[in-house]
Amino acid sequence: MSSMQTSNLEKSGTYTLGDRTVKRLGYGAMQLAGKGVFGPPKDRAEAVAVLREAIESGVDHIDTSDFYGPHVTNQIIKEALHPYKDDLVIVTKVGAVRGEDASWNPAFSKEALTQAIHDNLRNLGLDVIEVVNLRSMHGTYGPEEGSLEEPLSVLADLQRQGLIKHIGLSNVTSKQVADGRKITDIVCVQNLYNLAHRADDPLIEELAAAGTPYVPFFPLGGFSPLQSSTLSDVAAKLGATPMQVALAWLLQRAPNILLIPGTSSRAHLRENLAVADITLSAETVAELEGIGSAKPE
Ligand SMILES: NC(=O)c1ccc[n+]([C@@H]2O[C@H](COP(=O)([O-])OP(=O)(O)OC[C@H]3O[C@@H](n4cnc5c(N)ncnc54)[C@H](OP(=O)(O)O)[C@@H]3O)[C@@H](O)[C@H]2O)c1
């Protein structure tokens, strides 16, 4: 990897995550499992190559879970990157298990959470996990109110035992974050957010004021990547791709946003990591922000 690409990545800036500082452009590993995030990937060698290129390009924040595959994604991360560079922060998540039919099932009992932490440690080859997000299953891809006290207390116990350094929350409401902070420090929040899904605008501001990173999942739209003629028009004008513009908009949206776009291909990885070079004018931002309020195309 050329040094030019590394310095470009640094242009996106950094933010505090737990007691570490990470670049705002990271990588989400969910796309490295098979179709439907189940079983092995089509091209395991490419998956390993994507991870290695991400790190060589300067990525120091990887998002994963042992329920991707299950186990597969973490095992590929370990194969590709272990022993890990000191500056790499691996963030995982717990709260679900996969059924044999690929279903995603809530797994909030003490036994299930403890098992999940041990599975993550073993499959990633770690003695301690830097950050674990408790993924609320009260809602599927959007938060719903409901108590997280019991599972969060289990994670706080595992934290006291030294298996987890920091705890974050995923798919949660502002109230769940505030309630969580009474149990343990909440070092990040990971919710669905992108140009077309802006429900978390107030939460992002709230977290920014507290210095807490907000990590959007599905930054590119996830299973159905963002499609909009406005996005395509803006991208064409800038000589960029629509996906790059979607990421550049997130980087400019708030300083506490950390990006973890997912991809199974090095070509897309390169595209995604190049967005630190894109600056959107106020006029372009206004044009793009029309997308969130427009009807789906
Ligand atoms: N907490 C949660 O509940 C939750 C839920 C979902 C995801 N996540 C995390 O968030 C991360 C990001 O979400 P995601 O991976 O699901 O969705 P995403 O980043 O919004 O989009 C990924 C999709 O976009 C495609 N893509 C990526 N870069 C592209 C490019 N430059 N041009 C065209 N297509 C591109 C990918 O296909 P290719 O593989 O072909 O590039 C894939 O289909 C995940 O990896 C995971 O770590 C968390």
Nearest-CA residue for atom 27 of ligand 1 = 263
What's the pLDDT at 231? 96
Span 83-100, pLDDT tens digits: 999 999 999 999 999 999
Determine the distance separating the centroid of ligand 1 and the alpha carbon of 150, expressed in angstroms: 30
Nearest-CA residue for atom 37 of ligand 1 = 263
- Report helix, strand or coil for 134: strand
Span 22-68, pLDDT tens digits: 999 999 999 999 999 999 999 999 999 999 999 999 999 999 999 99
Span 107-158, pLDDT tens digits: 999 999 999 999 999 999 999 999 999 999 999 889 999 999 999 999 999 9
Rounded CA-CA distance 166/157 in Å is 12
Ligand 1 pocket residues where CB is under 6 Å: 28-31, 63, 93, 135, 170-171, 190, 217-222, 225, 241, 243, 260-265, 268, 271-272
Amino acid at 171: N
Domain range list for the chain: 10-292
Measured CA distances, 70 to 31, 36, 275 (Å): 12, 11, 31
- Tell me what the mean pLDDT of segment 67-82 comes to: 98
Q: Is the peptide bond before 70 cis (omega within 30 degrees of 0)?
A: yes
Sign of the torsion formed by the C-alpha atoms of 159, 165, 170 and 176: positive
Taking each helix axis from N to C terminus, what angle separates 242-253 and 266-273, rounded to the nearest 10 degrees? 40
Determine the distance separating the centroid of ligand 1 and the alpha carbon of 131, expressed in angstroms: 20
Q: How many CB atoms lie within 10 A of CB 236?
A: 12
Specify the range with the lowest mean pLDDT, choosing from 138-142, 179-183, 235-239.
138-142
Which of 92, 134, 135, 96 has its CA nearest to residue 112?
96
Which of 158, 140, 161, 136 has its CA nearest to residue 149?
136
Measured CA distances, 165 to 35, 92, 153, 161, 186 (Å): 32, 12, 14, 10, 11
Taking each helix axis from N to C terminus, what angle separates 201-210 and 174-181, rounded to the nearest 10 degrees? 30
Q: Does residue 189 carry a pLDDT above 80?
A: yes
* Closest atom of ligand 1 to CA, residue 218: 20
What's the pLDDT at 7? 60
- Report helix, strand or coil for 5: helix
Using most ligand atoms within 8 A of CB, pick from 98, 241, 268 the residue to mutate for ligand 1: 268
Rounded CA-CA distance 7/207 in Å is 28
What's the pLDDT at 8? 82
Which of 168, 91, 78 has its CA nearest to residue 125?
78
Q: Which residue has the tokens 């809530």?
A: 106
Residue pair 52/80 in contact (Cβ under 8 Å)? The answer is: yes
Q: Does residue 297 carry a pLDDT above 80?
A: no
Determine the distance separating the centroid of ligand 1 and the alpha carbon of 177, expressed in angstroms: 24
What's the pLDDT at 10? 87
Q: Please give the DSSP secondary-structure letter assigned to residue 141.
A: S
Sign of the torsion formed by the C-alpha atoms of 128, 63, 68 and 201: positive
What's the pLDDT at 3? 43
Determine the distance separating the centroid of ligand 1 and the alpha carbon of 50, expressed in angstroms: 13
Nearest-CA residue for atom 47 of ligand 1 = 28
**Second-level CATH architecture of 10-292:** Alpha-Beta Barrel (3.20)
Residue pair 242/217 in contact (Cβ under 8 Å)? The answer is: no
- Tell me what the mean pLDDT of segment 96-106 comes to: 96
* Closest atom of ligand 1 to CA, residue 242: 32
Span 243-295, pLDDT tens digits: 999 999 999 999 999 999 999 999 999 999 999 999 999 999 999 998 876 54
Catalytic residues: 68
What's the pLDDT at 293? 61
What's the pLDDT at 5? 47
Q: Does residue 17 carry a pLDDT above 80?
A: yes
What's the pLDDT at 2? 43
Determine the distance separating the centroid of ligand 1 and the alpha carbon of 264, expressed in angstroms: 9
Nearest-CA residue for atom 42 of ligand 1 = 263
Q: Alpha helices, DSSP H only, in 82-190?
A: 110-124, 149-160, 174-181
Rounded CA-CA distance 142/157 in Å is 27
